[in-house]
Chains A and B, each alone.
Chain A
């Protein structure tokens, strides 16, 4: 029987503790045929599981150009993530996916890219940044503004350094006021303000903004002032999901099933939808 709920088995190949309560995990398919044939688009998500505890939804935060493994990143907040927190290298976890629409990286070709991320929202931005850097000639100026509450809450810090070495890339790190350490060299302030202060001179950019609702809300007027149209502003919706395949009835924002027609939506799309997210 073709069982759409059956996960692939994946071996944990690497675990990195990013912050006191965030880890990123690398996985490879145990089935060699599946490993060979697997592909996805950055921005898609997977349903990851700890056997004995349950399934949980995370963005696939590695680049789709990396063929030997995939990565996901999670914060320890509930039963399943508590169990995932305890996994070790060589352990086996479940994976279903890839699901959802992903970012239209093809359609973004030739445009300047602005990535704005807050807190644990970095993983779904990180995959797109890597993808764009790996296809550097296809995209214009790249700006990344990434902030968290405190210095200790910033994830993928070493990668931010790596990105800043690329051409035509501007990386701005920030922490909320009071979250800085004595030797903090980045900006202090909330992502929208830091972004506004940075006076990014982009022409007709694509903007990907992911973070807490308040961050997104405060970013939109700034983008509006810059003349960025809502159709060029993308986000990834975080509604709770279970099946990932349009059946369990859990993830909808109005008529949009986030697991199928999302999670990536433009602000133009969101403006036409009820605030059910």
Chain B
């Protein structure tokens, strides 16, 4: 026995969540050739077919591009800090890809080893993730090379499988998932199945072995020549989490803000003295691969990449993890 829901019932349910005050985010077509995860205004905004995956990732809703840490008022030489303690509104992310949802347990480690980042944790606690298993993959998908697959429910509270004819099987994985779908589905004999994954495109262990032994290597020069340091790879990655802390506003003061940053930017590691341990793009490309395949795994026991392919799909010059990793593997 399985639980199923029709596409129209799913849209109606999303509309019900929105009407009930929840923020609902999911894939939407924002331009003829651009699909992004974004906050949906209606159930009809939700795009369920006809694209590989959104160009951004669901981290936008847990670790936003810019987040105010606290405000401050300056009066003479007295400073008042102003914190926002209002509760995080409940949010649902619907039709997330498995490679997006799987990044959340990865981010959980970062934001909670030793020190706890409650900005992230509060959003995480207020968020329910409803994943849609993949029914297609493109040439940039490589989840199976990093230990995932198109039907993985890692990081998901519920996962949907397309059954065809506008029907979806619903499998709830957590209490939060049940809270959304219990009583909203119908019994059925039909069960869904994700596609079999893209064939394995590289050996992650071999990539790790290479990066940990080729710190100074002509490979990085050759490989990174074309990188323009735009940071698109990091910004569209579900797992990249580097950030900066900056003061926003005039000297009269208003807020200190956490903003996304990227190891691909030239200023990322620049010392005030002018010295930069990673003076050019080759060292920065190396850092991205090193962090994902060796540094993070050494600390937290898993790869800092879910194989979504975004960094390669979105890179203006065709780099990204897939290109580099396959080059390392076959080169």
Contact = CB atoms under 8 A, between A and B. Distances in A.
Nearest to B253: A52
B247 interface: yes
Size class of the B contact interface (CB-based, 8 Å): 35 or more
Given A1-B118, A239-B269, A239-B277, A248 B244 contact: yes
Interface in B75-131: 77-79, 81, 83, 85, 110-111, 113-119, 122
A245 B216 CA distance: 28
A6 B72 CA distance: 11
B251 A255 contact: no
B24 to A, nearest CB: 24
B295 A276 contact: no
A107 interface: no
B272 interface: yes
B230 interface: no
Interface residues of A, number: 46
Nearest to B88: A1
A243 to B, nearest CB: 7
Contacts of A255: 294-295, 298-299
A112 interface: no
A30 to B, nearest CB: 9
A91 interface: yes
A243 B74 contact: no
Contacts, number: 127
Interface in B206-245: 215-216, 241-245
Contacts of A5: 69-70, 119, 245, 256, 258
B250 interface: yes
A276 to B, nearest CB: 5
Nearest to B246: A54
Given A243-B245, A248-B244, A1 B85 contact: yes
A172 interface: no
Interface in A123-178: none
- State the main secondary structure of chain A at its contact with B: loop
A135 to B, nearest CB: 29
A32 to B, nearest CB: 16
Contacts of B291: 249, 252
A275 B215 contact: yes
B278 interface: yes
Contacts of A240: 268-271
Contacts of B74: 51-52
B295 A252 contact: yes
A51 B270 CA distance: 22
Given A52-B253, A92-B77, A248 B272 contact: no
A232 B295 CA distance: 26
Contact of B81 (A6, A213, A254, A275): A6
Nearest to B244: A242
Interface string A55-79: 1100000000000000000010110
Contact of A245 (B114, B251, B278): B114
Given A239-B277, A247-B110, A4 B117 contact: yes
Given A1-B85, A4-B116, A51 B247 contact: yes
B67 to A, nearest CB: 10
Contacts of B271: 238-240
Given A4-B115, A250-B268, A54 B247 contact: yes
Contacts of B78: 92
Most A CB within 10 A of own CB, among B79, B122, B287 = B79
Nearest 9 pairs between A and B by C-beta?
A: A249-B242, A52-B251, A245-B115, A274-B215, A5-B69, A77-B272, A52-B253, A92-B79, A54-B247
Given A3-B118, A242-B244, A246-B110, 14 more contacts: A4-B115, A4-B117, A5-B119, A9-B81, A51-B79, A52-B250, A94-B79, A238-B271, A239-B269, A245-B115, A246-B114, A248-B244, A255-B294, A274-B215
24 contacts: A1-B122, A3-B69, A5-B119, A5-B245, A5-B258, A6-B69, A6-B70, A51-B74, A52-B74, A52-B249, A53-B247, A53-B251, A81-B272, A83-B251, A92-B78, A238-B271, A245-B114, A247-B111, A247-B115, A247-B243, A248-B245, A249-B110, A249-B241, A249-B263
